[in-house]
Amino acid sequence: IMYEVSNYARGERYYSRHNSKYWDHTPYLGFGPSAHSYWPEERWSNIRSARGYNQKAHAGEPTVSFQEQLGTETRMFETVMLGLRTRRGVDLKRFAKHFKNDFGAIFRPQTEKLIREGFARIEDNHFRLTAKGLMICDEIIPHFHHD
């Protein structure tokens, strides 16, 4: 079964739990050279080279090479982008709880058009792409980005 736009499994029990943490936008911490971390309003990565990382760590200096603060609109878009890449879609209750805002109110024009054209549906309190929509999700997702 396809559980994510570019990942398949033999059945529900066999999907990648590791990757699912990313699709669900679950916070994670990475340790060591080249490691990446995500915390709800921030993401960062460490120095790529093991030598450079070790030199900084042993000197008691920060090992972070990139750091980014994530605003609400960016986090909303990323939640939608990552959710639409999966069969489950965007959990509407979780979205409302996390952002204190209604998904349908924010993205009404996009969702109505996609549903009308057969690219998406609302089911079990999730907004998800249909099989037809998943085939062109890279074309659909940018429409949820507010400029």
Give CA torsion, residues 124, 114, 80, 92, to 10 deg: -30
More confident residue, 128 or 10: 128
pTM higher than the cut 0.85: no
Strands 42-46 and 36-39: antiparallel
Statement: residue 2 has pLDDT above 70? no
**Among 5-19, 40-54, 94-108, where is mean pLDDT lowest?**
5-19
The mean pLDDT value for 136-145 works out to 95
pLDDT of residue 40: 83
Ordered structural domains, the chain, with CATH: 3-69 (no CATH), 72-144 (1.10.10.920)
Taking the C-alpha atoms of residue 23 and residue 74, their distance in angstroms, rounded to an integer, is 15
The mean pLDDT value for 77-98 works out to 94
pLDDT of residue 23: 72
More confident residue, 66 or 87: 66
pLDDT of residue 15: 64
